[in-house]
Amino acid sequence: MSNRYWLLTPIWLVLCLATVAVVATPRLLHLITQDKPWLLESMLHALMLLCTLLLLNERSWQKKRWRMAVLAIVVMLMAALMLQSISNIYLVYSIMLTSLTTACLGQRASALFAGVVMLLFAAIHWLYWHDPELGLSVLLFCAFHGFAWVVSKQLNQEREQREQLQLSHAELHSTQLLLSQTIANDERTHLARELHDQAGHQLTSLILQLDVARRQALQCDNEGLQQRLEQCYQQARDSLATIRQVVSDKRHSEIDLASALRDLCQHLPRVTVHLDIQPHAKLAQAKLAHCLLRCCQEAITNALKHSTTEHLWIRIASSDDRLSLRIVESEQALDLDLVGSTPLYGNGLTGLNERVVALNGHFRAVMTEQGLIVETEFED
């Protein structure tokens, strides 16, 4: 799915085809029944449909210059259609495209497109058709375009707010999970320290006293007492060894970053995240785990705000005494060499760089043909 060139939202596709059918079909049938040339106008309608589909294709939304070029072609097609007939029905195309360009090019580009089309309409109908009702038509269709622009703007804002709310909820879930693990680790470390300082010292004192008692018992002829003291002495030594092992295990407990990342990825809007966390990639520091989680959260936020990708790949690996994290938008970029690539830093990425550097790590974020790549490395 990620390699498909076309990515069309079904509702947009249905509306596009319905609009073209409503506008083009009656006009072409009228030309055919009146035995007038219809081939040129049918080609213009077909080109308008193709350009609209190209603008609808979300795979091309990252290529702004390419989309602007398609929009310029659309403006020329609108002018050509206006020269074919004095009818105002062709402006239905521009109303539809005003809504579409708000989503794929932004509010300013959409408003500029609507303004240019209306200026062309006024100029052609005044200079070419000498339309006596031009003023009323301009006011009417300016109102239609303005309504389409406002509604599309509101819908886009609501969609962005929903995605941001869902993303914030996912980030909160994962951060809470990581925080609960950190608190549990702190509690285990505290208990291990108390166990070592209290029970360990008391057992050591008991062992010393038992050792003295069993040496004194050797001077007596009571073999039963000697055996019991020897057993108590060995049990005390075994208990001390067990406590030391428990203390060591509790102090070296690791943070399960994988569960926090899986929880984050399960609640994301629009993007599917593929996790590759190698088993030997160990995380013992809470600050390091928190930093890696923040890197993943920021990369996902960037993908939702500035990209149309449907997939992200996250790899955490450890090799040559280094712990590395790489986040990419294409699976082929997981092993891409970044030597010589130009770094890319915005406010969010700059904040991540500061976090990573504070932990003596290395951070890079570059834009490649495969999309944005975020990479961090830490010394084990």
Using the predicted structure, report yes or no on whether residue 200 has a pLDDT greater than 60: yes
Sign of the torsion angle spanned by Cα atoms 320, 188, 170, 359: negative
Cα–Cα distance for residue pair 239/281, rounded to 1 Å: 33
- What letter would DSSP give residue 343? B
pLDDT for 74: 94
Please name the residues in contact with 75: beta carbons below 8 A apart, sequence gap of 6 or more.
Answer: 113, 116, 117, 120
Q: Is the separation of the CB atoms in 271 and 303 below 8 Å?
A: yes
pTM of the predicted protein model: 0.67
**What H or E segment, with its residue span, contains residue 354?**
helix 347-358
Cα–Cα distance for residue pair 177/199, rounded to 1 Å: 32
**What H or E segment, with its residue span, contains residue 225?**
helix 223-251
Q: Among 109-123, 291-305, 351-365, name the most confident range.
A: 109-123
Distances (CA, A) of 279 to 57, 248, 317, 319: 39, 21, 8, 12
pLDDT for 7: 63
Tell me the two tokens of residue 151. 């509604």
Q: Which of 110, 122, 125 is nearest to 71 (CA)?
A: 110
pLDDT for 117: 94
Using the predicted structure, report yes or no on whether residue 353 has a pLDDT greater than 80: yes
Question: Among 156-160, 229-233, 355-359, which is the least confidently predicted range?
Answer: 229-233
Q: Which of 315, 185, 326 is nearest to 256 (CA)?
A: 185
343 pLDDT tier (thresholds 50, 70, 90): low
**Opening angle at CA 297, ends 351 and 61, nearest 5:** 95
Mean pLDDT of 371-380: 85
Please name the residues in contact with 126: beta carbons below 8 A apart, sequence gap of 6 or more.
Answer: 134
Give me the percent of the chain exceeding a pLDDT of 90. 29
251 pLDDT tier (thresholds 50, 70, 90): low
Cα–Cα distance for residue pair 114/91, rounded to 1 Å: 10
Instruction: Give the pLDDT confidence of 20-75 residue by residue, as tens digits.
Output: 999 999 999 999 998 889 999 999 999 999 999 988 886 665 567 888 899 999 99
Q: List, edge to edge, every strand of the sheet that includes 311-319.
A: 272-277, 311-319, 322-328, 371-379, 362-368
pLDDT for 51: 92
Write 200-207 long-range contacts (CB < 8 A, 24+): 200/240, 200/243, 200/244, 200/247, 203/236, 203/239, 203/240, 203/243, 204/240, 206/236, 207/233, 207/236, 207/237, 207/240
Could you tell me what percentage of the chain is helix, strand and coil, using 3-state DSSP and rounding each to the nearest 5? 70, 10, 20
pLDDT for 62: 58
pLDDT for 59: 62
pLDDT for 3: 41
Question: Among 161-170, 221-230, 302-311, 356-365, which is the least confidently predicted range?
Answer: 221-230
Comparing 86 with 62, the larger pLDDT belongs to 86
On average, the pLDDT of the chain sits at 83
Tokens 């690539």 map to which residue? 341
282 pLDDT tier (thresholds 50, 70, 90): low
Q: Is the separation of the CB atoms in 111 and 148 below 8 Å?
A: no
Using the predicted structure, report yes or no on whether residue 252 has a pLDDT greater than 60: no
